[in-house]
Structure 1
Amino acid sequence: MPHKRTVFDRAVDKSFQGIRDEFFRNVQFTEPKGDPGWFGPGSAVWYIHEHLPTVQIAMGAAAMMETLHPDMAWMAYEHTRAIERINGVPTGQFDEKAMSSRSGHTLSFFFGVAMASTPVAERVSKTVRGMHNRIEGVRPDGHPYKASDPDLLTWNYCTQAWALAASHQAFHPDPLSDDRLEEFFHDYARMGRELGGANVPTTKDGVDKYLADSLPFLAVTMPTVELLNPTAPWRYPAWQRPLMTLVDWAIQDLHPEWAQKLMNTKQYPRPVAAARRRAVKALLGSFRGGKMKEVYESYERVGVPYPRN
């Protein structure tokens, strides 16, 4: 029997429909019946991914963190379609349509790997590996880079795993216990390995240590500055700017202290910062029941009733 969706579910679906129509066409969650995928119902990975608002905050936080690696920053600047180009030369401005495309493909990958069937998870991972194999270049300082570099892929994985866990802990209305969070890091490491990462950490401490140990190799390069602002309030209509100002700060506030220093994140007095965090959690928590239909389709595929909170 199909799961009954709440009014919040329908609101999420409506806001998500454009992305679904364009970017989820080849990523389906209903077949084959009985296939739990890489992680399955009841897993910490499924639970974290079920709450779309915290996943979206995590995606923003991870994208910002990734650009602190000079290889990632220059690679993105020179190869991503999200940057406007004139005669092949980046202008430093975002191509809004291409930016939406990148976000849509990223979200379909995240959910395809996390909650779709095994064949779908394997296919989308193979597609991403193929894309990585075609991307390489040389930074202006003469340092070569390759998207398929195992160490760089581990960096990318760690930023993503860290961001998903940090956003979940900070803003989910009913976050996992520390033990269940460790389960997430242990299981989700499969994604990093499948993409080609080397020595992928399998614990929270391991991921945190990997990121912190990378600090000597990190820097704020010009592409970092250009790429840090997709959620900058000035990019939105005036009536959305108060909300986006809060969201943009919340994304950066998740970052470790060393990353905030590199990014020059605005600091507020502790009581003000605490109040802002509570406001963001209340906002995102209002979508407690707001899940994409793909979440319900995944449970139905496996034949497991959706757990009620």
Structure 2
Amino acid sequence: MVLSALRRRAGDSLFARVAGPDGPAARARIHETPGPRWFEPGSPVRIVHGDASMFVGGLRALLLQALHPAAMAGVAGHSGYKSDPWGRLARTSTFLAVTAFGTADDAQAAVDRVRAIHERVRGTSPEGVKYRASDPDLLRWVHVAEVDSFVAAHRMVGARPLDEAGYDEYVAQMATVAERLGVVGAPTTTAELAEQIEAYRAELRASPQARDTIDFLLHQPPVPWTLRLPYRGLTASALVSLQPWARAMVRPGEAAPRRDARARRAGRIVTRLIRWSLAATPDAPRPATTRPAAEPSPA
């Protein structure tokens, strides 16, 4: 009884943090409104986005996206990631949920809102870098960094990783969302995804704004002290899942195999705890269970 109550409180608290105060109402609308969806039940996008690995993937995406000076300038100037980090998280998680699980009409409306916001986001960074959020090249960077991160995290800590064909299908499904957002030439396979990430390397660096964001994410997280240890488990696994060159930009230093193995284990432990707590929360998303591959062996 005590354990069940603790589990329920933990799940309620986590869901409230991630989904915001309107989370229960938003979930009801997303999952219970009748109508056609962009993606069928059991599709890879639903499997990936319904898994706790998204906590690792989301952190990894922010770290990787920060390495593009123009993208970082837009985030620093317009997103409010420091003044309202939980609000930004709730908006992002709701968009991902609506496009993966919501009705086609609601998904399109969410895309239209984001495109309207992108049209207003433009300016110049303190270093003189001009940016425009609706720039197709910049949109594609944000997209590929996000998708690459969700795939990498799901491979590493997902409850039921997909096979290679499943991840290719996930990338292709996400490309359809990206095209609606204005991305041109979004990758449709993991091989194309890797090629496009590599093509951006010459533009990437740890700018002062990026370093400030990375420090905020890794060392000044907007979480209570009681959650600092599991948060460190998520960030550690996010770091170790980055490409070696990106990881060197985010946190310079030599790789340490034993430390990396501990980071992977920490990520698996924390995501399992997240699944355990959310399983007791009626308003939490439920991960899909089709097309599984073998559970990854412990590092």
* TM-score between both structures, scaled by the size of structure 2: 0.83
**Aligned 8 A contact 2:162 2:291 in 1:** no
| Equivalent residue letter for 1:173 | A
Does residue 243 (structure 1) correspond to residue 242 (structure 2)? The answer is no
Residue of structure 2 in register with 1:165 after alignment: 151
Residue of structure 2 in register with 1:50 after alignment: 50
| Equivalent residue letter for 1:145 | Y
The correspondence of residues 146-165 of structure 1 with structure 2, limited to 5 A, is: 146-165=132-151
What's the offset of the Cα at 1:72? Answer: 0.8
Residue of structure 1 in register with 2:67 after alignment: 68
**Aligned 8 A contact 2:236 2:263 in 1:** no
**Aligned 8 A contact 2:47 2:290 in 1:** no
In structure 2, C-alpha distance between the alignment counterparts of 1:120 and 1:258, rounded to whole Å = 38
Residues 145-154 or 14-23, more deviating: 14-23
What's the offset of the Cα at 1:233? Answer: 4.2
Residue of structure 1 in register with 2:34 after alignment: 33
Does residue 187 (structure 1) correspond to residue 173 (structure 2)? The answer is yes
Any gaps of 5 or more consecutive residues in structure 1?
A: 1-6, 83-93, 300-305
Q: 1:224 aligns with which of 197, 210, 213?
A: 210
| Equivalent residue letter for 1:15 | L
What's the offset of the Cα at 1:33? Answer: 2.0
What's the offset of the Cα at 1:147? Answer: 0.4
**Aligned 8 A contact 2:56 2:153 in 1:** yes
Does residue 80 (structure 1) correspond to residue 66 (structure 2)? The answer is no
Q: Secondary structure at the match of 2:137?
A: helix
List, as ranges, runs of 4+ consecutive aligned residues in structure 1 with deviation greater than 6 Å: 7-10, 306-309
What's the offset of the Cα at 1:239? Answer: 4.8
Q: 2:245 aligns with which of 258, 262, 272?
A: 258
Task: Specify whether residues 254 and 308 from structure 1 end up closer, same or farther in structure 2 by C-alpha distance, changes over 3 A only.
Answer: closer
Task: Specify whether residues 267 and 249 from structure 1 end up closer, same or farther in structure 2 by C-alpha distance, changes over 3 A only.
Answer: farther
Q: Secondary structure at the match of 1:232?
A: helix
The correspondence of residues 5-44 of structure 1 with structure 2, limited to 5 A, is: 11-17=10-16, 19-22=19-22, 25=25, 28-35=29-36, 37-44=37-44
What's the offset of the Cα at 1:30? Answer: 3.8
What's the offset of the Cα at 1:16? Answer: 0.7
Query: What is the number of residues matched between the two proteins?
Result: 281
Residue of structure 2 in register with 1:278 after alignment: 265
* TM-score between both structures, scaled by the size of structure 1: 0.81
| Equivalent residue letter for 2:100 | A
**Aligned 8 A contact 2:24 2:283 in 1:** no
In structure 1, C-alpha distance between the alignment counterparts of 2:285 and 2:26, rounded to whole Å = 16
| Equivalent residue letter for 2:30 | F
**Aligned 8 A contact 1:173 1:288 in 2:** no
The correspondence of residues 124-135 of structure 1 with structure 2, limited to 5 A, is: 124-135=110-121
| Equivalent residue letter for 1:166 | A
* Deviation digits for residues 260-279 of structure 1 (CA, Å, limit 9, x no counterpart): 11112555531332133123
| Equivalent residue letter for 1:186 | A
Q: 1:204 aligns with which of 190, 202, 206?
A: 190
In structure 1, C-alpha distance between the alignment counterparts of 2:103 and 2:226, rounded to whole Å = 41
Residue of structure 1 in register with 2:90 after alignment: 104
* Deviation digits for residues 97-133 of structure 1 (CA, Å, limit 9, x no counterpart): x111111111111111111111111011110000000
| Equivalent residue letter for 1:59 | G
Any gaps of 5 or more consecutive residues in structure 2?
A: 1-5, 293-299
What's the offset of the Cα at 1:163? Answer: 0.8
Q: Secondary structure at the match of 1:228?
A: helix
Q: Secondary structure at the match of 2:187?
A: coil
* Deviation digits for residues 170-227 of structure 1 (CA, Å, limit 9, x no counterpart): 0012211111111111111111111101111111111111111101111111110111
Q: Secondary structure at the match of 1:145?
A: strand
Residues 164-173 or 270-279, more deviating: 270-279
Q: Among the aligned pairs, what percent are the same residue?
A: 22
Question: Cα RMSD (Å) of the superposition?
Answer: 2.8
